[in-house]
Amino acid sequence: MIPSRDDPFHGIYAATVCPLDASGRHLDEAALTRHLDEVTQIDGITGLLINGHAGENFLLSRAEKRRVLEIAHSTCPRSILVAGVNSESSYEAQAHTDDAKEAGADAVLLFPPFSWALSTDLETVLTHHRIANDHARLPMMLYQASVGAGSMAYTSAILSALVSLPNVMAIKEGSWETATYEANRRLVKALAPHVAVMASGDEHLFACFAIGTEGSLVSLAAVVPTLIVALYRAVKQQDLPEAQRLHAHVYPLAKAIYGTAPGARANARLKACLHLLGKFPHAAMRPPVPPLSSAELARLEPALALALQHDRRDS
């Protein structure tokens, strides 16, 4: 639900994780419901990014993605629900966006197709965004991919054209490099000041928050939401010592999940953290992603424990 206030989309969104059964074949709807409900109960969580990369949108079927949104809508009626759409075909993206609207999404986040990592161009990118949201006309968030993601990381010319499209109101800025984040933020704010630029590089949240942000759509907020909200608030309040202290709790976990090779295991690490916390009955991934080794789990545990100890009473 979009609240009636100035800048209603600003704030912290948890990019939620999708629990599966022990085989990895089927959604665990009960665990998903608990996960969504628990995260949205945290003071300072504005909404949820459903079916984002952390939610394994690239491995779920169209029917499963719609079902996840339906569960989110029924479980979290007061939260802003942003639906991730990730399809190679523009017409398929349109169908998924239409599904999202019918299932109760308040906005759509359109990811660049993975094939664009090899090559793309301005006309292709604009066509995809126009067609995807042509029927639903939902408020749209763009996704600025990592500097290491090839042509999925939009050039200044492409980004400039995208922010002028109808319904675009925010960018999940995932450049994963602070200098590029700042350059993109300055560009967008000069061309389209109404478009929120929201930091989302988990390892660089503190630096990007300090540069300036209207919020964040971030997977760590699905694992340690109170810590991410506290960091965001400390920066907004210009409490540098507190922000630095909180960053010291965020960074090791962000590094263990996203900054450790192979990066493709990040989803499995997120899910493993929620399993270690007793939130998910299973940490199963859908093949071809294999389960984490015992050695990798052992590396996650101390970083997760440190992140949970951010409250001053535990410091």
Backbone angles phi, psi at 63, to 5 degrees: -65, -40
The full set of domains in the chain, from first to last, is: 11-239 (3.20.20.70)
Tokens of residue 190, six digits: 């000069």
Tokens of residue 127, six digits: 């066509």
Distance CA 274, CA 222 (A): 9
**Predicted local distance difference test score (pLDDT) of residue 314:** 44
The predicted-structure confidence for 51-104, as pLDDT tens digits, reads as follows: 999 999 999 999 999 999 999 999 999 999 999 999 999 999 999 999 999 999
Tokens of residue 54, six digits: 């952390």
- Per-residue DSSP letter, 16: -
Distances (CA, A) of 264 to 112, 176, 186: 17, 15, 30
Give percent of the chain with pLDDT exceeding 90: 90
**Predicted local distance difference test score (pLDDT) of residue 202:** 85
**Predicted local distance difference test score (pLDDT) of residue 263:** 87
Is a pLDDT exceeding 80 seen at residue 305? yes
**Predicted local distance difference test score (pLDDT) of residue 315:** 42
Q: In this structure, how many other beta carbons lie within 10 angstroms of the beta carbon of residue 136?
A: 22
User: What pLDDT band is residue 1 in, cutting at 50, 70 and 90?
Assistant: low
The predicted-structure confidence for 159-192, as pLDDT tens digits, reads as follows: 999 999 999 999 999 999 999 999 999 999 999 9
> At 280, which amino acid appears?
F
Mean of pLDDT values over 238-249 = 97
pTM of the model: 0.95
**Predicted local distance difference test score (pLDDT) of residue 5:** 75
Residue 257: burial class (beta carbons within 10 Å; 0-12, 13-18, 19+): buried
The predicted-structure confidence for 145-163, as pLDDT tens digits, reads as follows: 999 999 999 999 999 999 9
Q: Residue 295: which residues within 8 A CB-CB, separation 6 or more? A: none
**Predicted local distance difference test score (pLDDT) of residue 201:** 83
SS (HEC) of 201-259:
CHHHHHHHHHHCCCEEEECHHHHCHHHHHHHHHHHHCCCHHHHHHHHHHHHHHHHHHHC
The predicted-structure confidence for 225-234, as pLDDT tens digits, reads as follows: 999 999 999 9
